[in-house]
């Protein structure tokens, strides 16, 4: 590879925007994270009368995804055994 090609490749790579530099804002979120999916699943379990499954799902969300936007509510709901 010539020096010009290497320089062009480096310039292109270093000038490219960094993706996922920060978490997306909730207002522009285009897809749910795994924690969001667990939260929705727990709500669905509760709506269908599966309280034990809802509490187990909330506990899983709180343990595996502690930084998720629903984690604190999930911890509280699982601890109080109240469901989502």
- pLDDT per residue rounded down to tens, the chain (84 residues): 588 777 776 666 565 555 556 666 666 666 678 999 999 999 999 999 999 999 999 999 999 999 999 999 999 988 887 555
Burial 52-68 (b: 16+ CB within 10 A, else e): ebbbebbbbbbeebeeb
How high is the pLDDT of residue 78?
83
The runs of H, that is alpha helices, within 1-84 are 3-15, 34-47, 51-64, 71-80
Pull the structure tokens for residue 72: 């604190």
Q: With contact defined as beta carbons under 8 Å apart, do 45 and 54 qualify? A: yes
User: Model's pTM, two decimal places?
Assistant: 0.61
How far is it, in rounded angstroms, from Cα 16 to Cα 69?
A: 29
Q: With contact defined as beta carbons under 8 Å apart, do 35 and 61 qualify? A: yes
How high is the pLDDT of residue 13?
59
């Amino acid at each position: 590879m010539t020096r010009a090609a290497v320089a062009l490749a480096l310039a292109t790579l270093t000038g490219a925007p960094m993706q996922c530099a920060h978490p997306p804002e909730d207002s522009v979120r285009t897809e749910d994270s795994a924690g969001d999916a667990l939260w929705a699943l727990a709500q669905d379990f509760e709506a269908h009368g599966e309280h034990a499954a809802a509490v187990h799902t909330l506990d899983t969300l709180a343990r595996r995804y502690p930084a998720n936007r629903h984690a604190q509510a999930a911890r509280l709901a699982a601890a109080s055994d109240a469901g989502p």
